[in-house]
Amino acid sequence: MFLLEYILINLAAVLFTLLVCNIADTNRKTHALRLKRITARYSAALKKCKQTGDFRLPDRNIRGLKRYIGLEAFFEALKELDLEDKQRILLDNSNNIIRILNKEKHPTVHAYFSYMLKDMKIQGVNGGGYGTLMIKFLSDGSVFSRENALKSIYSFGDPEIVELAFTLLSARGIIHNDKLITDGLMTYPGDKEKLAARLMKHFDTLLECYRNSLINYMGLAGIEKYDDILIKRAIKPETSIDTICCITRKMNRVKSSKSFRYLVDIERRFREGGDWEPVAIAVTGLAHFPEEKVAKDILKRELISRNWYIRKNSAESLAAIGVTEKDLEDIRASNDKYANEAIHYALTRLENV
């Protein structure tokens, strides 16, 4: 009896799986046919716009954008146009499109529209009106909707709308991924100095994820104007290790007496503590100062660190600076097997590059 029940249950599971797969396959085919049909309607409307020179779409086409399949068909049809015509369609119909999407609450629709909008390269104040819509989408509980809205906001090249996005998200306590924010900021097509100036006004009130991303952005963009502010921030006792690490990475990119003093200070402050990350980052930056004897002394000392990352980075920086036979004798004299292996491995790698 037990065996029969077992067989029947498994048979039912198999039949149910086949049924679900069949339904999914049918739905895919149905979706493809509907999409093709709706896309043809949008293509015809867009073709008429080109012919008449009037790029305002009929109300029925605008209403269709409140459904996911309507948006998908709309953007499929837009692919047939060049970029200038795509932008004109979106700008000439912005009021009606925004009105429709303002009423639609589904985050999937928000995420999809935002994702497609970023590729339209609509630049200027408030993204031609779409910036305000993207700000609204930032409140969605969906991280995909928020990320895509931010990407569109960056694409507008308007520093004011980016400033508004970061301050609102921080005020609402909405955390986002640091790496995604930094990558997004690097796509910003406008004046990078002006964007940094806008965001630095709120440095102390931004949530840490936005603050750290701003530091990373300025490092990658080569903006050094605010380095003194960042260095002062790094020495404050309330500053988190993550923020100190971001500031240290930024200072690694700057070869100056100021950055050298900072890196030396970071190594001194953290070498005896439990927070190894700032030291591991600082010793990497010391590779830029081969003329400084102190740099080499620090790297030789950190080569025998108990932390693998510090030892590895110190070895690579030493190899980059250049080691003498006397340096190698000093390292051998430490009787640290791992230090010897690390420096020889780093030197071998450098020779093979």
Q: Is 191 helix (H, G, I), strand (E, B) or coil?
A: coil
Q: Is 147 a domain residue?
A: yes
Give the count of alpha carbons within 13 A of 328, CB side only: 11
* DSSP secondary structure code for residue 289 in this structure: -
Residue 135 within any structural domain of the chain: yes
The pLDDT of residue 141 is: 83
pLDDT of residue 5: 54
| Sequence-separated (6 or more) residues with CB below 8 Å from residue 112 | 68, 71, 72, 148
Under 8 Å between Cβ of 120 and 126: no
Residues 150 and 208 in one domain: yes
pLDDT in tens, 158-180: 999 999 999 999 999 999 999 99
Same-domain check for residues 246 and 321: yes
Residue 120 maps to a domain: no
Tokens of 149: 């809205």
Residues 217 and 154 in one domain: yes
Can you give the C-alpha Rg of the chain in angstroms?
28
Q: Are residues 154 and 75 in the same domain?
A: no
- Asked if residue 61 and residue 40 are part of one domain, the reply reads yes
What is the spatial distance between Cα 250 and Cα 230, in angstroms, rounded to a whole number? 9
Q: Say if residue 234 is in the same domain as residue 215.
A: no
Place of tokens 């004011």: 160
Q: In this predicted model, what pLDDT tens digit does every residue of 302-339 receive, in sequence order?
A: 998 889 999 999 999 999 998 888 888 888 888 888 88
E strand or H helix that includes residue 244: helix 241-252
Measure the CA–CA gap between 133 and 113, rounded to whole angstroms.
11
250/156 same-domain check? no
Same domain, 97 and 177: no
Q: What is the pLDDT of residues 197-213, one digit of tens each?
A: 999 999 999 999 999 99
Identity (one letter) of the amino acid at 209?
C
Q: E-strand spans in 209-285?
A: none
| Domain that includes residue 58, residue range | 31-104
| pLDDT given for residue 7 in this prediction | 55
Is 317 a member of any domain?
Answer: yes
Instruction: Show which of 199, 221, 243 is a domain's final residue.
Output: 221
Residue 309 is assigned to a structural domain of this protein: yes
Whether 242 and 207 map to the same domain: the answer is: no
Q: How many domains does the chain have?
A: 3
At a CB cut-off of 8 Å and minimum separation 6, what does 249 contact? 216, 219, 281
Is 13 contained in some domain? no
The verdict on residue 25 lying in a domain is no
How far apart (Å, rounded) are the C-alpha atoms in residues 67 and 63? 8
Could you tell me if 239 and 314 lie in one domain? Answer: yes
Q: 59 and 135 in one domain?
A: no
Residue 182 resides in a domain: yes
Per-residue pLDDT of the chain (353 residues; tens, 9 = 90+): 545 555 545 545 544 444 444 444 456 667 888 999 999 999 999 999 989 999 999 999 999 998 889 999 999 999 999 999 999 999 999 999 999 999 888 888 999 999 999 999 999 999 999 999 999 999 988 899 999 999 999 999 999 999 999 999 999 999 999 999 999 999 999 999 999 999 999 999 999 999 999 999 999 999 999 999 999 999 999 999 999 999 999 999 988 999 999 999 999 999 887 899 999 999 999 999 999 999 999 999 999 888 999 999 999 999 999 888 888 888 888 888 888 888 888 888 877 75
- Written as one string, the DSSP assignment of 197-228 is HHHHTTTTTS-HHHHHHHHHHHHHHT--TTHH
Domain boundary among 221, 248, 282: 221
CB-based burial label for 49 (10 Å; 0-12, 13-18, 19+)? buried
Same domain, 237 and 333: yes
Of the residues 104, 136, 158, the one at which a domain ends: 104
The whole-angstrom separation of Cα 286 and Cα 295 is 6
